[in-house]
Structure 1
Amino acid sequence: MKKQPTQIQSATNTLLIKTNVVVRRQFFSWSDIESEDFTKYIQNLRDIGCPEQTIRDIIVSEVNQVFSQRRDLEVTTPEQQWWKSVPDPEVIKDAIIKVRALDNERRELLTKLLGPDWEQSGAAEAWPPQDMLAETIISGWSNGRVILDGPVLGKLSPEIKKAVQRISREAWRRQQEYLESQELNGKPISNAKLAILRQQTREELSKILTPQQLEEYLLRYSQTAENLRRDLRGIEVSPEEFRKLFVQKDAIDMELDLLADKADAASIQRVRQLELQKDQLMNQVLGSNRSQLVKLQKDPVFIESQKIVQESGASADSIMPLYRVNRETELQIRKIQQDNLLTDEEKQEIISQIKSVQDQTLKRLLGDRAYQKFKSLQENTTQNGKEN
Structure 2
Amino acid sequence: MKISRPLAILLVLNVAMIACWIWSRSRSTTQGVEASPSPTPVLAQGVPAPSSSDRLNATNSASASQPFQWSELESKDYREYVERLRAIGCPEQTIRDLIIADIDKLYAARIRSLHPLRKTLNFWESEETELANNYDTRVWQQKEREIEREKAKVLKDLLGVDLAAERQRNKGQVDAFDRRLGFLPEDKRSEIRDIVETFEEQERAIREKTWDTGLALTAEERQRLRELEEKREERLGRLLTPEQKELFDLSSSPTAEALRHDLYGMGATEEEFRAVFDIRKGFEAAWPKDQVDVGDEATLKAWGGALMEVEEKLKSTLGEERFAMYQRGQDYRFHELNGTISRFGLPRDRAAEAYEYLRLAEQEGTRVMNSQTLTPDQKTEISARIADEADRAMRELIGEGPFNYYKRRTR
Name the TM tier (shorter chain).
0.5 to 0.7
Partner of residue 319 from structure 2, selected from 264, 276, 287 = 287
Matched, 1:233 2:264: yes
1:38-90 deviation per Cα after TM superposition (whole angstroms, max 9, x unaligned): x98886443233243257622657999997xxxxxxxxxxxxxxxxxxxxxxx
Residues 1:198 and 2:229 are matched in the alignment? yes
Offset, 1:227: 2.2
Residues 223-249 of structure 1: CA distance to partner in whole angstroms, max 9, x if unpaired?
A: 211221232233211344323432443
- The code of the aligned residue for 1:362 comes to M
Q: Structure 1: which amino acid aligns with 2:31? A: I
Following superposition, the deviation at residue 274 of structure 1 comes to 5.8
Contact 2:195–2:232 (CA under 8 A) maintained in structure 1: yes
**In angstroms, what is the RMSD of aligned CA positions?**
5.3
2:238 paired with 1:210: no
Is 1:166 matched with 2:194?
yes
Matches within 5 A, 1:78-157: 106-107=93-94, 122=102, 132-133=168-169, 137=173, 140=176, 147=178, 151-153=182-184, 155-157=185-187
Contact 1:333/1:351, CA 8 A, preserved across alignment: yes
Q: Residues 298-317 of structure 1 correspond to what in structure 2 (within 5 A)? A: 298=330, 313-314=346-347, 315=349, 316-317=351-352
- Which amino acid is 2:405 matched to? L
Aligned-partner Cα distance in 2 for 1:378–1:317: 14
Structure 2 residue 212 is the aligned partner of structure 1 residue 179? no
Cα displacement (A) at 1:295: 2.9
Structure with more relative contact order (C-alpha pairs < 8 Å, separation 6 or more): 1
* 1:280 partner letter: K
| Residue 16 of structure 1: aligned partner | none
Structure 1 Cα separation of the partners of residues 87 and 164 of structure 2: 15
Structure 2 gap ranges (5+): 1-19, 35-71, 75-79, 106-154, 156-162
From the superposition, tell whether residues 375 and 260 of structure 1 become closer, same or farther in structure 2 (CA, over 3 Å). closer
User: Could you tell me how far apart the structure 2 residues matched to 1:63 and 1:271 are?
Assistant: 67
1:83-112 Cα distance to aligned partner (Å, 9 max, x none): xxxxxxxxxxxxxxxxxxxxxxx45xx7xx
Q: How far does residue 175 in structure 1 lie from its aligned partner after superposition? A: 0.8
C-alpha separation between the residues in 2 aligned to 1:184 and 1:297? Answer: 28
> Of residues 293, 310, 317 in structure 2, which corresponds to 1:277?
310
1:58 aligns with: 83
Quick check: 1:235–1:290 contact (8 Å CA) kept in 2? yes
Segments of structure 1 that go 5 or more residues without pairing to the other structure are 1-36, 68-105, 111-116, 141-145
Q: Distance in 1 between matches of 2:211 and 2:179?
A: 32
| Residue correspondence of structure 1 range 31-70 to structure 2 within 5 A | 44-51=27-34, 52-54=72-74, 57-58=82-83
Question: For residues 360-380 of structure 1, what are the alpha-carbon distances to aligned partners after superposition, in whole Å with 9 as ceiling and x for unaligned?
Answer: 42245x2xxx3244245258x
> What's the offset of the Cα at 1:202?
1.0
Given that 1:191 and 1:261 are in contact with CA atoms closer than 8 Å, whether structure 2 keeps it comes out as no
**Preserved contact between residue 56 and residue 118 of structure 1 (Cα < 8 Å):** no
Partner of 1:377: 405
Q: Secondary structure at the match of 1:257?
A: coil
What SS is found at the alignment partner of 2:32?
Answer: coil
Identical residues among aligned pairs (%)? 17
**Closer/same/farther in 2, CA of residues 134 and 325 from structure 1, 3 Å limit:** farther
What is the Cα deviation at residue 178 of structure 1?
A: 1.8
How far apart are 1:257 and its partner, in Å?
A: 1.1
Q: How many positions carry a matched residue from both structures?
A: 284
Distance in 1 (CA, whole Å) between partners of 2:277 and 2:73 is: 51
One-letter code aligned to 1:171:
F
Conservation of the 8 A alpha-carbon contact between 1:305 and 1:323: no
Q: C-alpha distance in 1, partners of 2:239/2:387?
A: 60
1:223 corresponds to 2:254: yes
- Give the equivalent residue in structure 2 for 1:321: 356
Q: Distance in 2 between matches of 1:191 and 1:245?
A: 26
